[in-house]
Chains A and B, each alone.
Chain A
Amino acid sequence: MIEDAGFVGVTFSNKVDTFAQADGEEQARAFGTFGYVIEARKP
Protein backbone atom coordinates (compact mmCIF):
# COMPACT_ATOMS: atom_id res chain seq x y z
CA MET A 1 0.00 0.00 0.00
CA ILE A 2 2.55 2.62 1.10
CA GLU A 3 5.06 1.34 -1.46
CA ASP A 4 2.33 1.47 -4.12
CA ALA A 5 2.20 5.24 -3.55
CA GLY A 6 5.94 5.49 -4.24
CA PHE A 7 7.51 5.47 -0.78
CA VAL A 8 10.40 3.12 0.00
CA GLY A 9 11.98 1.68 3.15
CA VAL A 10 8.73 1.15 5.00
CA THR A 11 9.22 0.03 8.60
CA PHE A 12 6.82 -0.61 11.47
CA SER A 13 7.68 -0.01 15.11
CA ASN A 14 6.93 -2.49 17.85
CA LYS A 15 3.21 -2.54 18.51
CA VAL A 16 1.68 -0.25 21.10
CA ASP A 17 -1.25 -1.36 23.25
CA THR A 18 -3.16 1.80 22.38
CA PHE A 19 -6.52 0.85 23.88
CA ALA A 20 -5.32 -0.84 27.10
CA GLN A 21 -7.57 0.24 29.98
CA ALA A 22 -9.66 2.40 27.62
CA ASP A 23 -13.40 1.87 27.17
CA GLY A 24 -12.75 0.37 23.75
CA GLU A 25 -10.26 -2.22 24.98
CA GLU A 26 -12.57 -5.21 24.52
CA GLN A 27 -13.44 -4.27 20.93
CA ALA A 28 -9.77 -3.60 20.16
CA ARG A 29 -8.78 -7.01 21.53
CA ALA A 30 -11.46 -8.70 19.39
CA PHE A 31 -9.74 -7.49 16.20
CA GLY A 32 -6.17 -7.49 17.50
CA THR A 33 -5.95 -3.72 17.18
CA PHE A 34 -2.66 -2.07 18.08
CA GLY A 35 -0.88 1.18 17.40
CA TYR A 36 2.31 1.43 15.35
CA VAL A 37 4.68 4.10 14.16
CA ILE A 38 5.23 3.65 10.45
CA GLU A 39 8.26 5.18 8.73
CA ALA A 40 8.99 5.47 5.03
CA ARG A 41 11.02 7.63 2.68
CA LYS A 42 10.40 9.31 -0.67
CA PRO A 43 13.24 8.35 -3.02
Chain B
Amino acid sequence: MTDISKPPAVDVEQLRAAVGDIYRGVAERPDAGYHFHTGRTALAHLGYPSEVTDPLPDAAADAFAGVANVFEPGLPDRGERVIDVGSGAGADALIAARAVGDDGAVTGVDMNESMLERARRSAAEVGLTNASFEVGLIEELPVEDEWADVIISNGVLNLVPDKLTAYRELFRVTRPGGRLQISDICVEQEVPEEAKRDIDLWGA
Protein backbone atom coordinates (compact mmCIF):
# COMPACT_ATOMS: atom_id res chain seq x y z
CA MET B 1 0.00 0.00 0.00
CA THR B 2 1.14 3.51 -0.65
CA ASP B 3 2.75 5.57 2.15
CA ILE B 4 0.23 8.06 3.50
CA SER B 5 2.26 9.16 6.52
CA LYS B 6 3.08 12.56 5.02
CA PRO B 7 0.22 14.85 3.93
CA PRO B 8 0.45 15.53 0.19
CA ALA B 9 0.90 19.11 -0.91
CA VAL B 10 -2.65 19.98 -1.84
CA ASP B 11 -4.65 23.07 -1.06
CA VAL B 12 -6.90 21.85 1.74
CA GLU B 13 -9.62 24.43 1.10
CA GLN B 14 -9.67 23.63 -2.62
CA LEU B 15 -9.87 19.93 -1.85
CA ARG B 16 -12.72 20.43 0.63
CA ALA B 17 -14.58 22.49 -1.93
CA ALA B 18 -14.12 19.83 -4.61
CA VAL B 19 -15.21 17.03 -2.29
CA GLY B 20 -18.12 19.16 -1.13
CA ASP B 21 -19.25 19.64 -4.73
CA ILE B 22 -19.23 15.90 -5.42
CA TYR B 23 -21.23 14.96 -2.32
CA ARG B 24 -23.59 17.92 -2.60
CA GLY B 25 -24.33 16.49 -6.04
CA VAL B 26 -24.96 13.05 -4.55
CA ALA B 27 -27.28 14.58 -1.94
CA GLU B 28 -29.26 16.61 -4.45
CA ARG B 29 -29.18 14.19 -7.41
CA PRO B 30 -28.31 10.74 -6.07
CA ASP B 31 -29.27 8.98 -9.30
CA ALA B 32 -27.23 11.25 -11.61
CA GLY B 33 -24.51 8.63 -12.12
CA TYR B 34 -21.15 8.75 -10.35
CA HIS B 35 -17.87 6.86 -10.56
CA PHE B 36 -18.92 4.94 -7.42
CA HIS B 37 -22.08 3.02 -6.57
CA THR B 38 -24.74 4.91 -4.67
CA GLY B 39 -28.01 4.22 -2.91
CA ARG B 40 -29.55 0.84 -2.25
CA THR B 41 -27.44 -0.56 -5.12
CA ALA B 42 -24.31 0.34 -3.16
CA LEU B 43 -25.69 -1.02 0.12
CA ALA B 44 -26.47 -4.37 -1.53
CA HIS B 45 -23.17 -4.44 -3.45
CA LEU B 46 -21.21 -3.94 -0.21
CA GLY B 47 -23.09 -6.71 1.57
CA TYR B 48 -25.31 -4.82 3.99
CA PRO B 49 -28.04 -7.26 5.02
CA SER B 50 -31.57 -6.33 4.01
CA GLU B 51 -32.80 -6.52 7.60
CA VAL B 52 -30.81 -3.36 8.40
CA THR B 53 -31.30 -1.56 5.09
CA ASP B 54 -35.00 -2.25 4.49
CA PRO B 55 -36.09 0.02 7.38
CA LEU B 56 -34.00 2.94 6.08
CA PRO B 57 -35.98 5.85 4.65
CA ASP B 58 -35.29 6.48 0.96
CA ALA B 59 -33.84 9.91 1.79
CA ALA B 60 -31.04 8.22 3.72
CA ALA B 61 -30.55 5.13 1.56
CA ASP B 62 -30.70 6.80 -1.87
CA ALA B 63 -27.71 9.07 -1.21
CA PHE B 64 -25.57 6.43 0.52
CA ALA B 65 -22.05 6.44 -0.96
CA GLY B 66 -19.95 4.18 1.29
CA VAL B 67 -17.06 1.92 0.33
CA ALA B 68 -17.52 -1.17 2.55
CA ASN B 69 -19.99 -2.51 5.12
CA VAL B 70 -18.84 -0.75 8.28
CA PHE B 71 -20.97 -3.15 10.36
CA GLU B 72 -19.36 -6.27 8.94
CA PRO B 73 -17.54 -6.83 12.30
CA GLY B 74 -20.82 -6.28 14.14
CA LEU B 75 -23.37 -3.65 15.10
CA PRO B 76 -22.78 -1.40 18.11
CA ASP B 77 -24.21 -2.72 21.37
CA ARG B 78 -27.34 -1.41 23.06
CA GLY B 79 -26.62 1.68 25.11
CA GLU B 80 -23.41 2.60 23.33
CA ARG B 81 -22.56 6.09 22.11
CA VAL B 82 -21.50 6.27 18.47
CA ILE B 83 -20.04 9.01 16.29
CA ASP B 84 -20.45 8.65 12.53
CA VAL B 85 -17.71 10.76 10.99
CA GLY B 86 -18.77 12.03 7.57
CA SER B 87 -22.27 10.71 8.12
CA GLY B 88 -23.59 11.81 4.75
CA ALA B 89 -27.29 11.14 4.31
CA GLY B 90 -27.32 9.16 7.54
CA ALA B 91 -27.71 5.52 6.47
CA ASP B 92 -24.95 4.13 8.71
CA ALA B 93 -25.88 6.47 11.58
CA LEU B 94 -29.50 5.36 11.49
CA ILE B 95 -28.54 1.68 11.39
CA ALA B 96 -26.36 2.36 14.45
CA ALA B 97 -29.13 4.35 16.17
CA ARG B 98 -31.55 1.45 15.83
CA ALA B 99 -28.90 -0.92 17.25
CA VAL B 100 -27.97 1.17 20.31
CA GLY B 101 -31.60 1.88 21.21
CA ASP B 102 -33.00 4.62 23.41
CA ASP B 103 -30.26 4.20 26.05
CA GLY B 104 -27.59 4.91 23.45
CA ALA B 105 -26.94 7.84 21.17
CA VAL B 106 -25.52 8.53 17.75
CA THR B 107 -23.97 11.78 16.58
CA GLY B 108 -23.43 12.15 12.86
CA VAL B 109 -20.98 14.81 11.72
CA ASP B 110 -20.70 16.04 8.16
CA MET B 111 -19.51 19.21 6.41
CA ASN B 112 -22.28 19.08 3.83
CA GLU B 113 -25.58 20.78 4.72
CA SER B 114 -27.47 19.02 1.93
CA MET B 115 -26.48 15.65 3.36
CA LEU B 116 -27.25 16.76 6.92
CA GLU B 117 -30.73 17.85 5.85
CA ARG B 118 -31.39 14.39 4.40
CA ALA B 119 -30.08 12.70 7.55
CA ARG B 120 -32.17 14.83 9.93
CA ARG B 121 -35.29 14.35 7.80
CA SER B 122 -34.69 10.59 7.73
CA ALA B 123 -34.21 10.32 11.49
CA ALA B 124 -37.44 12.24 12.06
CA GLU B 125 -39.28 10.09 9.52
CA VAL B 126 -38.51 6.87 11.41
CA GLY B 127 -38.69 8.43 14.89
CA LEU B 128 -35.06 7.81 15.85
CA THR B 129 -34.71 10.56 18.45
CA ASN B 130 -31.38 9.18 19.68
CA ALA B 131 -29.65 10.30 16.46
CA SER B 132 -28.49 13.86 15.94
CA PHE B 133 -26.55 15.40 13.10
CA GLU B 134 -24.07 18.26 13.38
CA VAL B 135 -22.08 20.24 10.88
CA GLY B 136 -18.33 19.82 11.32
CA LEU B 137 -14.99 18.65 10.02
CA ILE B 138 -13.17 15.46 10.91
CA GLU B 139 -10.20 17.51 12.08
CA GLU B 140 -12.39 19.48 14.54
CA LEU B 141 -15.29 17.31 15.65
CA PRO B 142 -18.02 19.11 17.62
CA VAL B 143 -17.92 16.45 20.34
CA GLU B 144 -16.45 16.50 23.84
CA ASP B 145 -13.39 14.46 24.81
CA GLU B 146 -13.86 10.68 25.26
CA TRP B 147 -17.60 10.82 24.50
CA ALA B 148 -17.80 7.87 22.14
CA ASP B 149 -17.74 4.13 22.68
CA VAL B 150 -17.51 3.56 18.94
CA ILE B 151 -16.38 5.65 15.99
CA ILE B 152 -17.72 4.68 12.59
CA SER B 153 -16.94 6.27 9.24
CA ASN B 154 -17.40 5.16 5.68
CA GLY B 155 -15.29 6.35 2.76
CA VAL B 156 -14.20 9.59 4.39
CA LEU B 157 -10.60 9.31 5.64
CA ASN B 158 -9.31 8.79 2.09
CA LEU B 159 -10.57 12.30 1.28
CA VAL B 160 -8.62 13.92 4.11
CA PRO B 161 -5.07 15.04 3.23
CA ASP B 162 -3.70 15.18 6.81
CA LYS B 163 -4.74 11.76 8.02
CA LEU B 164 -2.65 11.79 11.20
CA THR B 165 -4.40 14.94 12.44
CA ALA B 166 -7.75 13.32 11.63
CA TYR B 167 -6.90 10.10 13.48
CA ARG B 168 -5.68 12.11 16.48
CA GLU B 169 -9.07 13.85 16.57
CA LEU B 170 -10.82 10.46 16.46
CA PHE B 171 -8.58 9.38 19.35
CA ARG B 172 -9.58 12.48 21.34
CA VAL B 173 -13.32 11.76 21.15
CA THR B 174 -13.04 8.01 21.84
CA ARG B 175 -13.28 6.83 25.46
CA PRO B 176 -10.49 4.62 26.81
CA GLY B 177 -11.40 1.09 25.77
CA GLY B 178 -13.55 2.41 22.94
CA ARG B 179 -13.09 1.36 19.38
CA LEU B 180 -12.68 2.52 15.84
CA GLN B 181 -14.69 0.69 13.19
CA ILE B 182 -14.27 2.44 9.88
CA SER B 183 -14.60 1.61 6.21
CA ASP B 184 -12.23 3.18 3.77
CA ILE B 185 -10.37 2.57 0.55
CA CYS B 186 -6.68 1.82 0.25
CA VAL B 187 -4.54 1.63 -2.86
CA GLU B 188 -2.11 -1.20 -3.56
CA GLN B 189 -0.10 0.70 -6.17
CA GLU B 190 2.18 3.60 -5.38
CA VAL B 191 0.39 6.84 -6.24
CA PRO B 192 2.73 9.30 -7.99
CA GLU B 193 3.30 12.60 -6.15
CA GLU B 194 1.93 14.44 -9.17
CA ALA B 195 -1.33 12.50 -8.91
CA LYS B 196 -1.57 13.22 -5.15
CA ARG B 197 -1.44 16.94 -5.96
CA ASP B 198 -4.20 16.66 -8.57
CA ILE B 199 -7.40 17.77 -6.82
CA ASP B 200 -9.55 16.19 -9.55
CA LEU B 201 -8.10 12.73 -8.84
CA TRP B 202 -8.99 12.88 -5.12
CA GLY B 203 -12.63 12.50 -5.99
CA ALA B 204 -12.09 10.18 -8.95
| Chain A contacts to B: CB under 8 angstroms | 1-2, 4-7, 12-13, 16, 18-24, 27, 30-43
The reply to whether B177 and A42 contact each other, CB–CB distance below 8 Å, is yes
In Å, the complex CA distance between A36 and B158 comes to 12
Nearest residue (CB) in B for A11 is B73
Contacts A24-B36, A36-B68 given; does A16 touch B186 at CB 8 Å:
no
A-B contact pairs, 20 of them (CB 8 A): A1-B164, A6-B171, A7-B171, A7-B180, A12-B186, A18-B37, A18-B46, A32-B188, A33-B188, A35-B67, A35-B68, A36-B68, A36-B183, A36-B185, A37-B68, A37-B72, A37-B182, A38-B184, A40-B180, A41-B180
Taking a contact as CB atoms closer than 8 A, the residue among B45, B155, B171 that contacts A42 in the complex is: B171
In Å, the complex CA distance between A3 and B47 comes to 28
The reply to whether A38 and B36 contact each other, CB–CB distance below 8 Å, is no
When distances are taken between beta carbons in the complex, the residues of chain B under 8 Å from A4 are 5, 164, 167
Taking a contact as CB atoms closer than 8 A, the residue among A2, A13, A30, A34 that contacts B72 in the complex is: A13
Residues of B in contact, count (CB < 8 Å): 41
Contacts A22-B37, A23-B34 given; does A35 touch B183 at CB 8 Å:
yes
The reply to whether B191 and A18 contact each other, CB–CB distance below 8 Å, is no
In Å, the complex CA distance between A3 and B176 comes to 15
Taking a contact as CB atoms closer than 8 A, the residue among B174, B184, B186, B204 that contacts A27 in the complex is: B204
Residues 13-55 of B contacting A (Cβ, < 8 Å): 33-37, 45-47
When distances are taken between beta carbons in the complex, the residues of chain B under 8 Å from A7 are 167, 171, 180
